[in-house]
Structure 1
Amino acid sequence: MQAVYDYRYVITCSSLPVVFKREFRKLVRNKIDSSLDARTGRRYAVPAEAQCRRIAVLLEGFRVLRAGGFASESPWNLRAKHLRYLRAHWSTEGLPENAVADKLRHWREFVVWINKRALLPILSLFPREAAPRSGDTRTRSGELLHDNSLITIPVLTEAIVMAALTEHRGNLRKAARALGTTTAAVCHALTGGRARDEAIPGLTILN
């Protein structure tokens, strides 16, 4: 089964209000595919899976805030009280130290995206969170390859794409729109990078 990581689909699958998701998608559109290495000052490309992981962590945080009574209509409205609430929530969840550190890293990146660097001290690592466990696996840029927060990351699969195509009578564009993604991502999930006729003989897709 070919699974395609697409941050747009992760946003679509969120239970947050449509208006919030629309604003969030606009916010992250030109930021999610790269990140700044604080050590070198250079930007590096973020792989698709890591993009989805970051989006999933952030959206889960906003879901927690909404459940806690912070029903903001826009992700731009993030305040210090929201981040303090999240830290308290993670503390009561009893998450592993490296999982909390990973969440803080994603939220620090988000705070930079919305140009609210004054909030960064709230997201600093406590001494007991600073050192990840020896079992953590990192890329050269320091990205954790495995997220221990137990957040499920939605992925596009052939079954999901086929269901959308069936619902929209084989119209590729409508199916992609319903899934909140691109026609290219839909085709990739459907064919696994192979030619359509080779992947699923006899399939006709309306563009």
Structure 2
Amino acid sequence: MLVTVNVHALLSDYRLPADFKRELEVIFLDNVNRVHSRTRVSSKTLSVKTQGYRLQKLCRSFLELRENGFALQSPWSLKEKHIRFLVELWVGKKQSAGTIENKLTYFRAFADWISKPKLVGTLADYADRKEHGLVRSYSALEDKSWEGNQVDAIAILTAIAQTDPVVAMQLKLQAVFGLRVEESFLLRPRESVRRDGLLSVTRGTKGGRDRVVPMELQTSVLEEAMQYCNTLSGSTIPDGYTKTQWKNHYYDVLKRYGVTKAGLGVTSHGLRHEYLQQMYKKLTGVAAPIKGTGEKADIKSHREAMLQVVAAAGHSRPRKANAYLASYNSVAQQKSAAITFEQAEAAIVTASGEKKAAAKSLGISRQALYRILERK
């Protein structure tokens, strides 16, 4: 049986005209669980949470149109000028590129529902990304791993295990298999171990992309997880908890032990970053670019490692690996941006005027040094 959000109840929260709501309700009911994604590979319908979030953003946007003088009599009357106005409004409110792009994705789906598939363009069609600071970076600008933040994972997990062994076990699953938080909750240890030595990850994945990850010598973690399997579902969520209840408990425990950005400076997601960074180092022999060691893998090894990292992470596009590892270019740009004109000038003096030596001492390229000198 399909589970869908309560559309009528959701619409009651918005002060839209009655006729407009009735038409929206018909459109929503016919399409609420439809997937609109170029990268999703699963045939599963959207979760109730995602359905609700998408419809809420659409309703809020229609409300914004009416509040700003667009008296739309029907959702079927949506035009390109309305989308353009909304983007200009969101840009004016300093909303991030990611937030605006998500909203455009929701309207792209809505446009399909009302048989206007070419109605909604990309963010670049409505606003100059550079002028408004809407250029998105797909490369990590900071190391989010526990190791990179000098957090002793073993000590923290040992402490948590004393009071909440299930939470500690789920953190271990994330650390040794690179699982997302929800994937560690929904993993069924007894069903997921394959005869070929791989672990099958099929529940809680992003975009419905199932994957397999190597178990290597981490069977002890799976054996521990098997001791805590839910007697009904087989997942690692303890008996007596719904997923939402367990998620709340999980984050309460992490907060208690300081595993937050405001506390130790890391979240549990940092364990996934660490797993993928370690995989890159194992495949190439050098640290991931985000580590800033200055070492570089040869181009062939780097590209092959990026493909394997992206597959292990369960993403659809190779560039997504940069979100965990960073790119050499982004690290270099970030490093040079932090160097002042005065520091560059001092390095040149110390190097007796040799710019190549000065650049090396600063850990940047000679071309980057020239760019810094041009700032003044």
TM range (shorter): 0.5 to 0.7
User: Which whole-Å CA distance do the structure 1 matches of 2:10 and 2:138 have between them?
Assistant: 27
What's the offset of the Cα at 1:93?
Answer: 0.7
Report SS of the residue matched to 2:35: strand
Aligned to 1:21: 21
Aligned to 1:175: none
Matched, 1:74 2:58: no
Q: Is the contact between residue 90 and residue 100 of structure 2 (CA under 8 Å) also seen in structure 1?
A: yes
Q: Where does 1:102-121 land on structure 2 (aligned, <5 Å)?
A: 102-121=102-121
User: Which whole-Å CA distance do the structure 1 matches of 2:44 and 2:101 have between them?
Assistant: 20
Q: Is the contact between residue 104 and residue 120 of structure 2 (CA under 8 Å) also seen in structure 1?
A: no
- TM-score by length of structure 1 reads 0.57
> For the pair shown, which has the larger CA radius of gyration, 1 or 2?
2
Matched, 1:83 2:149: no
Q: How high is the sequence identity, in percent, across the aligned residues? A: 25
Q: Is the contact between residue 101 and residue 123 of structure 2 (CA under 8 Å) also seen in structure 1?
A: no
Q: Where does 1:157-172 land on structure 2 (aligned, <5 Å)?
A: none
Counterpart amino acid of 2:105? R
User: Which whole-Å CA distance do the structure 2 matches of 1:132 and 1:15 have between them?
Assistant: 38
What's the offset of the Cα at 1:13?
Answer: 1.3
Unaligned runs of 5+ in 1: 143-192, 194-207
Change (3 A) 1:92 1:9: same
Q: Where does 1:46-57 land on structure 2 (aligned, <5 Å)?
A: 46-57=46-57
Aligned residues: 139
What's the offset of the Cα at 1:25?
Answer: 0.3
Structure 1 residue ranges (4+ consecutive) displaced by more than 6 angstroms after TM superposition: 132-135
User: Which whole-Å CA distance do the structure 2 matches of 1:132 and 1:7 have between them?
Assistant: 35
Counterpart amino acid of 2:115? N
Aligned to 1:141: 207
Q: Is the contact between residue 31 and residue 113 of structure 1 (CA under 8 Å) also seen in structure 2?
A: yes
Counterpart amino acid of 1:105? T
Q: Is the contact between residue 36 and residue 44 of structure 1 (CA under 8 Å) also seen in structure 2?
A: no
Aligned to 1:38: 38
What's the offset of the Cα at 1:34?
Answer: 2.1
Aligned to 2:94: 94
What's the offset of the Cα at 1:90?
Answer: 0.4
Q: Is the contact between residue 34 and residue 43 of structure 1 (CA under 8 Å) also seen in structure 2?
A: no
* More displaced stretch, 30-39 vs 125-134: 125-134
1:173-195 Cα shifts (integer Å, max 9, x gaps): xxxxxxxxxxxxxxxxxxxx9xx
- TM-score by length of structure 2 reads 0.33
